[in-house]
Chains A and B, each alone.
Chain A
Amino acid sequence: DAGVIQSPRHEVTEMGQEVTLRCKPISGHDYLFWYRQTMMRGLELLIYFNNNVPIDDSGMPEDRFSAKMPNASFSTLKIQPSEPRDSAVYFCASSLPRTSGSLWNEQFFGPGTRLTVL
């Protein structure tokens, strides 16, 4: 398996522009997570999906951020309009469905998208 795939790997944009980050989870995983990593705040969970449905979006910073999962193999995180404080590394992760008796399923992380907003 190719692992979690994220694109682009690097994005440089100007303040006010729309930014779309993309993620392809591992096939068969039905949980998908979006994280943001900054020096100041560390690694934060933004939102996660189960079977394409958003379960918890309490970490989404504000209305400028939105995430969708139109199907089991694709998710987007959109920032509109972008601001310099959105500069960070954004990670996508996926995990297997929970089955009877499983205590936890490992989250597999993608390589991240480094976003710079000028």
Chain B
Amino acid sequence: AQSVTQPDIHITVSEGASLELRCNYSYGATPYLFWYVQSPGQGLQLLLKYFSGDTLVQGIKGFEAEFKRSQSSFNLRKPSVHWSDAAEYFCAVAAPPNFGNEKLTFGTGTRLTIIP
């Protein structure tokens, strides 16, 4: 079974500073990887996804993530954060789908606080 670890429960970053959120996965092969964002009182929104190919993927809102097979990691980055990026961020993993296997396994999330 797949699993996801987000080692940082809470991160505080100054507005304009760079950001990196960590994600490590456990799976026997290369899974499908995702980052979601949850703003307060809202549902989850997909930021980006990785299936295969180029290990650096671009997402919405200026986010990117890099897949590193050797480290079983899929860290999320942004060069310069904005106050509106304050939210909770979830890494998720899915097995390369066979028909009917649509399960997503989420990490426990990282809460991002932005300070002026």
Asked if residues B51 and A48 are in contact (CB atoms below 8 Å), the reply is no
Interface residues of chain A: helix, strand, loop or mixed (majority): strand
We find that the number of chain A residues with CB closer than 8 angstroms to chain B is: 24
We find that the number of chain B residues with CB closer than 8 angstroms to chain A is: 23
Q: Which has the most chain B C-beta neighbours within 10 Å: A43, A45, A110?
A: A43
**Chain A hits for B109, CB < 8 A:** 42-43
Q: Is B114 an interface residue (CB 8 A)?
A: no
Q: Is B42 an interface residue (CB 8 A)?
A: yes
Q: Which of A56, A104, A109, A111 contacts B41 (CB 8 A)?
A: A111
**Alpha-carbon gap, A108 to B41, bound state (A):** 15
**Closest Cβ of chain B: how far from A67's Cβ, in Å?**
15
Q: Is B115 an interface residue (CB 8 A)?
A: no
